[in-house]
Structure 1
């Protein structure tokens, strides 16, 4: 998201260290112009006074083809429209998302990030190396290289549990392979000065792996900056039809239990209710085929839209939908769309288990049902539609208030800076 940073004299001093700005290198295989939450975290850190640079790959997610203006084989440094440096290394594009191609994609970033990243940043000094560890956790190896070369404190923000997420999504089924991934994960964790988790439920799982050798703290994903400010200057090319529109936004993949969404839609007979799927992913084509085969006139595949127009799409919605598969690992996960949903001020229908469902209930922001239960999901959507507008507005308002208290970007950026300072303090103790 192309936000303009204030002039240096206007910045807060939260990111200053001993009179100097805290120098942060963010390592993330995916970054702007790809749409990931780390894009806005970088903007928030800069607004709080940090000097931030990014090491990333060539953008190719989610379609699997390198974006126009980029090349899979190039490496170098570009400037984000906001002015900061993005160091790019070559990657093997994801392609259609098949297992072998994805493995090459992952390892190309790890190997070339660890080799070419130090060259691209050879004249730079950093206080913090901050790894945005969406799958794969392998990105932590690149952070460990920079920790060694640059002498910076190494902070890993864990977004997915490994190897649990690999096993439960079926990406790896072999027991020996899963055990090897577990050992590699432990190796990566132990080379961090601080582990942050996007969910409180991750903490105990990771503690069982690393013991007390590395501190662990909870740090949630923030919501969308524009949604939090309740402003949108971009018009959306998606105009929702009249009626009760339930919008699902984000990745259309295996973990999202999309069979449950279609099964629920087939049980809804109210002609005013529509489920709008906004996004793309590995199951987009499967969804298109299933909608046609089942003749589901109440499900619409809208495609992908840039983040800056999502506030307008949410504004048109009657409710927002989030679903996940039933699994012990996913029950500990908080989908990154939930803070954005809360900020949007619309009632939420959540068909999932665990910590994410607890958040919706604690916020009084919508209706929750067990994961992979299409009957209860259909009933929840119908019940929400039958409520008074006043009741739905109350849910939306409660969600916005919960967002402001728990997921607003600026307070979370200041909290993240405090985590960085703690990591620096620990690094000083352990390296003496």
Structure 2
């Protein structure tokens, strides 16, 4: 048996995050992998069926040992969300204090909240082993943007916690070069920070003759969005875009297929209804990740957007790699890293964040391309993915830190 990696991630299977695949691949490479996680409740805010404080607290999936510590489910309001974050840290503290587990490395998969890193940092310090942090969400910036909190005392306190975590991690990996710069600005030695882009699972690939029946095959131009439906995704832009398209005579020619779930889903549906463009939208419930390539390949283009915040210019969302891997033209409303990537790959059109008129122009332009021209865009997307986000290359790159 190879080295023992303790992975800290508040979210893990059956919750759908890329850490699931990373751990599976590490087991295939001969590592022993233990995951410390919570009871699954994302994104609905309640425990998944079959899981609970007394049910399925220990599992073994794909060779991965999973330990689920108690936490309070996310619920559907900010107070419950704060309790959810806090409870994982509290139970994580007592777990690391009492645990007899012997690991060689700690690897923290950090999507919000950053607080989840604390049990991993404490365990590594206690056992005097290397601690690695993989930053997906930048704190405290993410807290300011998502919650709207501007209080200097609160943001300052969160900043001190973040600095403590950075200080006690031997290596910090990020999903974009902009994140590297932001972390170095906080006083972290640049040699300790490295960009390790996300890859898409192997099942993300172009599917020939995909024909998902939930996607309307009625001659309309199908645009697909997949993933979390939250305020950060800036999807409130789409009803405005649909209204303009409808006024210009494209209302019965385009369909936006929204696949996924999240806190903003019902609000988005209401905005769509108020704008009287519900006939241009098709909502599909959250699907198993393995099925998503079939939905993407059943459509003509994939959509990506962000809320208009500077933080998101520094972010490359995981779905962008998934779109590229599926070889589909991309139409986006984004800036910074995402815009640079889409433009460099020549895989689609990216307009400035939140500009509905320019997005309308991009959609119409993409729709009026010939099928061969769109196929060429899709081929460029797949080629760029293979050249820049190859799974084996990235996993082998990480191996050197576990030797």
- After TM superposition, the score normalised by the length of structure 1 is 0.87
Alignment of 1:25-424 (within 5 A): 25-72=6-53, 76-80=57-61, 82-96=62-76, 98-117=77-96, 119=98, 122=100, 124-212=101-189, 215-228=192-205, 230=206, 238-242=214-218, 243-269=220-246, 270=250, 271-296=252-277, 297-421=279-403
User: CA offset at residue 74 of structure 1?
Assistant: 5.6
User: CA offset at residue 194 of structure 1?
Assistant: 0.5
> 1:75 touches 1:87 (CA, 8 Å); kept in 2?
no
Over residues 7-29 of structure 1, what are the superposed CA-to-partner deviations in whole Å (9 max), with x where a residue is unaligned? xxxxxxxxxxxxx6122111100
- Which runs of 5 or more residues in structure 1 are unaligned? 1-19, 422-432
The match for 1:22 is 3
User: CA offset at residue 295 of structure 1?
Assistant: 1.5
Q: Distance in 1 between matches of 2:202 and 2:123?
A: 30
> 1:40 touches 1:225 (CA, 8 Å); kept in 2?
no
Over residues 165-218 of structure 1, what are the superposed CA-to-partner deviations in whole Å (9 max), with x where a residue is unaligned? 111223422121111111111011111000111111011111111332871000
Q: Decide whether aligned partners of structure 1 residues 147 and 159 sit closer, same or farther in structure 2, where only a CA change above 3 A counts.
A: same
Over residues 113-142 of structure 1, what are the superposed CA-to-partner deviations in whole Å (9 max), with x where a residue is unaligned? 2212564x52x3222100001011112211
User: CA offset at residue 83 of structure 1?
Assistant: 2.5
User: CA offset at residue 111 of structure 1?
Assistant: 1.4
> 1:361 touches 1:368 (CA, 8 Å); kept in 2?
yes
For the residue of structure 2 that corresponds to 1:262, the secondary structure is helix
User: CA offset at residue 223 of structure 1?
Assistant: 1.1
For the residue of structure 2 that corresponds to 1:210, the secondary structure is coil
- Which runs of 5 or more residues in structure 2 are unaligned? none
Over residues 338-387 of structure 1, what are the superposed CA-to-partner deviations in whole Å (9 max), with x where a residue is unaligned? 00000011100111000111111111111110001111111111110100
Over residues 59-111 of structure 1, what are the superposed CA-to-partner deviations in whole Å (9 max), with x where a residue is unaligned? 0000001001110466842111x132101101100011x11111110111111
Q: Distance in 1 between matches of 2:147 and 2:132?
A: 29
For the residue of structure 1 that corresponds to 2:19, the secondary structure is helix
Q: Distance in 1 between matches of 2:54 and 2:314?
A: 37
Q: CA RMSD in A?
A: 1.9
The match for 1:427 is none
User: Which of 1 and 2 has higher RCO (CA within 8 Å, sep 6+)?
Assistant: 1
Q: Distance in 1 between matches of 2:106 and 2:144?
A: 29
Q: Distance in 1 between matches of 2:140 and 2:102?
A: 33
Over residues 243-284 of structure 1, what are the superposed CA-to-partner deviations in whole Å (9 max), with x where a residue is unaligned? 210001111111111121211111113222111111111111
Q: Distance in 2 between matches of 1:57 and 1:170?
A: 22
Q: Distance in 1 between matches of 2:207 and 2:357?
A: 36
For the residue of structure 1 that corresponds to 2:106, the secondary structure is strand
Q: Distance in 1 between matches of 2:195 and 2:42?
A: 27
For the residue of structure 2 that corresponds to 1:247, the secondary structure is strand
User: CA offset at residue 308 of structure 1?
Assistant: 1.5
- After TM superposition, the score normalised by the length of structure 2 is 0.94
> 1:248 touches 1:276 (CA, 8 Å); kept in 2?
yes
Q: Which range moves more in the overlay, 62-71 or 204-213?
A: 204-213
Q: Distance in 1 between matches of 2:293 and 2:56?
A: 34
Q: Distance in 2 between matches of 1:240 and 1:357?
A: 29
Over residues 11-56 of structure 1, what are the superposed CA-to-partner deviations in whole Å (9 max), with x where a residue is unaligned? xxxxxxxxx6122111100000011111111122223332212110
